[in-house]
């Protein structure tokens, strides 16, 4: 699946940090070549889902917002649709078997979408 320059840069920085940490920890760095994950602890250990959930909870508490990690998938899908991405493209990007799953469960109506719909109607209703 293609991705843009912004994500490529984020991944480059993560890889650089991992290389720096590998040097810092030396023989104590937990390198697992067959699992070269992006989300790693500083010492190279794999970040399990429970670690990610814990960090998400801490961020949520610190920012005083209701947030969970999985909601980023919903935000991602909604933002793509809101900005003109075809549903089929978003479906494939999220790995859903059917576009209906993407539309029904992941894409949420935003104020911008509602305003855009009103503007579209206005644009042809003026001619009635």
The C-alpha atoms of residue 108 and residue 82 are separated, in whole angstroms, by: 9
Query: Is a pLDDT exceeding 80 seen at residue 35?
Result: no
| Rounded percentage of the chain residues whose pLDDT exceeds 70 | 100
For 114, other C-beta atoms within 10 Å of its C-beta total 10
pLDDT at 52 over 90: no
Among candidate residues 35, 36, 44, the one with its CA nearest the CA of residue 17: 44
* Rounded distance between C-alpha atoms, residue 105 and residue 108, angstroms: 8
Least confident of 9-18, 20-29, 44-53: 44-53
Q: Could you state, in order of their start, the residue ranges of all structural domains in the chain?
A: 1-66, 70-128
- Alpha carbon 22 to chain centroid distance? 26
CB 94 within 8 A of CB 106: yes
**Does the pLDDT of residue 34 top 80, yes or no?**
no
């Amino acid at each position: 699946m293609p991705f843009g320059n912004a994500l490529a840069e984020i991944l480059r920085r993560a890889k650089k940090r991992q290389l720096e940490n590998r040097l810092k920890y030396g023989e104590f760095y937990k390198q697992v070549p067959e699992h070269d994950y992006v989300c790693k602890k500083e010492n190279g250990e794999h970040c399990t889902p429970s670690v990610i959930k814990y960090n998400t909870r801490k961020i949520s508490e610190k920012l005083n917002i209701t947030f969970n990690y999985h909601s980023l998938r919903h935000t991602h899908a909604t933002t793509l649709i809101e900005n003109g991405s075809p549903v089929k493209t978003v479906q494939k990007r999220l790995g859903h078997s059917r576009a209906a799953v993407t539309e029904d469960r992941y894409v949420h109506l935003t104020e911008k979408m509602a305003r855009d719909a009103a503007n579209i109607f206005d644009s042809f209703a003026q001619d009635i």
